Amino acid sequence: MKHSVSVTCCALLVSSISLSYAAEVPSGTVLAEKQELVRHIKDEPASLDPAKAVGLPEIQVIRDLFEGLVNQNEKGEIVPGVATQWKSNDNRIWTFTLRDNAKWADGTPVTAQDFVYSWQRLVDPKTLSPFAWFAALAGINNAQAIIDGKAAPDQLGVTAVDAHTLKIQLDKPLPWFVNLTANFALFPVQKANVESSKEWTKPGNLIGNGAYVLKERVVNEKLVVVPNTHYWDNAKTVLQKVTFLPINQESAATKRYLAGDIDITESFPKNMYQKLLKDIPGQVYTPPQLGTYYYTFNTQKGPTADQRVRLALSMTIDRRLMTEKVLGTGEKPAWHFTPDVTAGFTPEPSPFEQMSQEELNAQAKTLLSAAGYGPQKPLKLTLLYNTSENHQKIAIAVASMWKKNLGVDVKLQNQEWKTYIDSRNTGNFDVIRASWVGDYNEPSTFLTLLTSTHSGNISRFNNPAYDKVLAQASTENTVKARNADYNAAEKILMEQAPIAPIYQYTNGRLIKPWLKGYPINNPEDVAYSRTMYIVKH
């Protein structure tokens, strides 16, 4: 596996190098006098606590405020963060050496014990972290037992050998473990800061270890960060102020971009793509992204508890029409959950992909009839999505397909991000919009979401055969064997339809020509403000 080979090489070689990923300004570049950036995020962050984050709006900000053991470069490759080197002889016991000049924003050292505290806090049931599962996915010893309340947090397989040496014990060998430590859920937090106040994430209170500190926050208006003078690589930080603007309407964000109020957007309205290409050439970007847009069905209650209903609904989504006409910015139809660009994944052709849409619709109608629905008893359901023009556009198109081909009466419902998250977490939906951008570049980041014990399993899908094949994949020693397991898992998802994958993401955004250093080709869209700078214009 290319991915795991690169990680293994890192484990052997990093001890002899000292890399960092910061703003690299080419010689002769004339910088703008005012190094202030305005970044668009799609919603107001739900929390700035790494253990409480749930979506991209907060993660984008958290990456500036905190730093984990490792970072990603512009290609998505792993480079040192707080750790300067790491090693493992068996891919099961890992040792990380922390840099001695890593400091919190208050000037105190970042130590191995900070990571021990933070990771124990992540899995502690009292924390109620929506990302506690990530520690178990990473295979950290006893993580799942702690999450389940069967072991104490201090039994987690992470120890501080000394102030600058962190030892992690996994419950099984995992060649790509180092990649997982770049995830925001494993970022450290300062114990004294967290325990000082329930409002520790507010400006003036929050003490992070990232390249920036939180200076100002006006809910639903803006978040402002400025350089952390105690950050170990602060000398290479160019941007002196970064303002994040939460705007959930793509047209509003695009309008402000065109007016010069925003330097980079998180997206833009799909129907403006061709016009934007014409009006602002060189500022429109749509590279592939490690992500899938999908609909999740409630498998535990309501009409979608019936597998036949779910499958019929999934089959009648015209994915070809969706990507070519409704979206039209380079997206690919999602015939499986795992994106094609995922390292270590060679998808087997889906039977649905080989059928015409007319054939799919005919089979879907038969399935729905067998489930007891038809002209005399039309299926009625609610389709829920978080507020966004693109989400609305897709929902309208899908509802129209369901109505036309199956006679389904669909009620469209949009909710603001925090309310939507609550509905998602409580299972208060029939069908709900969802998306997943990989936490690391390997198929398990997608497929484990549907395992029965995963907190990210929105559909509440519970299939022992599915759990078994993914558990088996985690023990395989070859790419070929893992790929066979992953395709077996995809087949179960296709047949049971707890979700309906719709399209594979492109990373559509607008970027001002004077903004440099944005990692547009990072497949996971990991972007740190400290790598960016503004040239004179």
Q: Which residue has the higher pLDDT, 7 or 380?
A: 380
Residue 275 belongs to some domain of the structure? no
Q: Give the residue among 304, 269, 250 at the shortest CA–CA distance from 42.
A: 250
Q: What is the tens place of the pLDDT at every residue in 32-87?
A: 999 999 999 999 999 999 999 988 899 999 999 999 999 999 988 899 999 999 99
From residue 474, how far is each of 88, 183, 438 by CA, in Å?
A: 18, 19, 17
For residues 209 and 337, state if they share a domain: no
- pLDDT category at 499 given cuts 50, 70, 90 is very high
For residues 494 and 527, state if they share a domain: no
Query: What pLDDT, on a 0 to 100 scale, did the predictor assign at position 75?
Result: 85
How far, in Å, CA of 385 to CA of 117, rounded?
Answer: 36
For residues 207 and 300, state if they share a domain: no
How far, in Å, CA of 358 to CA of 355, rounded?
Answer: 8
Residue 295 belongs to some domain of the structure? yes
φ, ψ for residue 121, nearest 5 deg? -65, -40
For residues 303 and 208, state if they share a domain: no
Residue 223 belongs to some domain of the structure? yes
For residues 160 and 35, state if they share a domain: yes
Q: Which of 98-102, 378-382, 434-438 has the lowest mean pLDDT?
A: 434-438
For residues 160 and 210, state if they share a domain: yes
Residue 148 sits in a domain whose CATH number is: 3.90.76.10
For residues 295 and 379, state if they share a domain: yes
For residues 417 and 485, state if they share a domain: yes
- Strand 509-510 to 380-386 pairing: unpaired
Burial of 220 (0-12, 13-18, 19+ CB in 10 A): exposed
pLDDT for 403 beyond 60: yes
> Tokens at residue 384, please?
């829920």
Secondary structure of 254-302 as H, E, C letters:
HHHHHCCCCCECCCCCHHHHHHHHHHCCCCEECCEEEEEEEEEECCCCC
Percent of the chain with pLDDT over 70: 96
For residues 524 and 486, state if they share a domain: no
- Ranked by mean pLDDT, the top range of 173-182, 263-272, 374-383 is 374-383
Three-state DSSP state, 360: helix
For residues 317 and 207, state if they share a domain: no
Query: What pLDDT, on a 0 to 100 scale, did the predictor assign at position 330?
Result: 84
pLDDT for 6 beyond 70: no
The number of distinct structural domains making up the chain is 2
Domain holding 338, by residue range, is 290-506
pLDDT for 17 beyond 80: no
Residue 473 sits in a domain whose CATH number is: 3.10.105.10
Residue 298 belongs to some domain of the structure? yes
How far, in Å, CA of 314 to CA of 408, rounded?
Answer: 13
How far, in Å, CA of 85 to CA of 20, rounded?
Answer: 12
Q: What is the tens place of the pLDDT at every residue in 243-276?
A: 999 999 999 999 999 999 999 999 999 889 999 9
Q: What residues pair up with 381 in beta bridges, in sequence order?
A: 410
pLDDT for 288 beyond 90: no
pLDDT for 396 beyond 50: yes
Q: What is the tens place of the pLDDT at every residue in 289-308?
A: 899 999 999 999 999 999 99
Residue 85 belongs to some domain of the structure? yes
For residues 191 and 307, state if they share a domain: no
How far, in Å, CA of 454 to CA of 446, rounded?
Answer: 11
Residue 302 belongs to some domain of the structure? yes
Residue 460 belongs to some domain of the structure? yes
pLDDT for 172 beyond 80: yes
Residue 262 belongs to some domain of the structure? no
